[in-house]
Chains A and B, each alone.
Chain A
Amino acid sequence: DGGITQSPKYLFRKEGQNVTLSCEQNLNHDAMYWYRQDPGQGLRLIYYSQIVNDFQKGDIAEGYSVSREKKESFPLTVTSAQKNPTAFYLCASSAWGETQYFGPGTRLLVL
């Protein structure tokens, strides 16, 4: 069954801690994206990757890092430099230039 999976569903971060959100897709898509969703602000692009071993900053990349070592995987690390990490994080993928499809999301909360 093709799709995009994100884990965990909920994630708790302590002060000064780095945490990593997982995103996996089996749709054979080249492009993958990470968005942050805050109430009333829509979705904002954090990072995107058009191809393996390449990625670009989006509009709000500060305090985040990514890697793209495999076509299927695009993990997002929320670093301690991100001072306001509480949000809903959505991963998406697409064939290049085509419609983006979204995963179920990870809610990050700060302890």
Chain B
Amino acid sequence: AQSVTQLGSHVSVSEGALVLLRCNYSSSVPPYLFWYVQYPNQGLQLLLKYTSAATLVKGINGFEAEFKKSETSFHLTKPSAHMSDAAEYFCAVSDLGGTYKYIFGTGTRLKVLA
């Protein structure tokens, strides 16, 4: 069965510092992978997605993620954190077995320190 693990339920960075949010997946076939962002009391907004094209995926708001098959990882990065990046981030993998259901990680809450 597919699964997603997000290491670190809370991450704090200083404004201007590198953001690194970790996501590892397990899948028997090359998956589709997603990062979503959620601001308090709002729905999820798509940041970026990997669908077996380029392994380095660029998303909105300066975020990017790299698909590494050998490490079964899809970590999210941003070179310089901004206060507005404070939110909860979810990694998800899509079941390509016919249902296209998503399996979500438990989320990482990012805090940006002034």
Interface residues of A (CB under 8 A from B): 4, 6, 31, 33, 40-45, 48, 50, 56, 58, 88, 90, 92, 94, 96-97, 99-105, 107
- From A4, A42, A56, give the contact of B104 (CB < 8 A): A42
**In the bound complex, CA of A99 to CA of B99 (Å):** 13
**In the bound complex, CA of A105 to CA of B41 (Å):** 8
Q: Could you pull out 28 A-B pairs where Cβ atoms are within 8 angstroms?
A: A4-B43, A33-B101, A40-B9, A41-B106, A42-B90, A42-B104, A42-B105, A42-B106, A42-B107, A43-B44, A43-B90, A43-B104, A44-B104, A45-B102, A48-B101, A88-B41, A94-B100, A97-B100, A99-B46, A99-B49, A100-B102, A101-B46, A102-B43, A102-B45, A103-B43, A104-B43, A105-B41, A107-B41
Interface residues of B (CB under 8 A from A): 9, 34, 36, 41-46, 49, 90, 99-102, 104-107
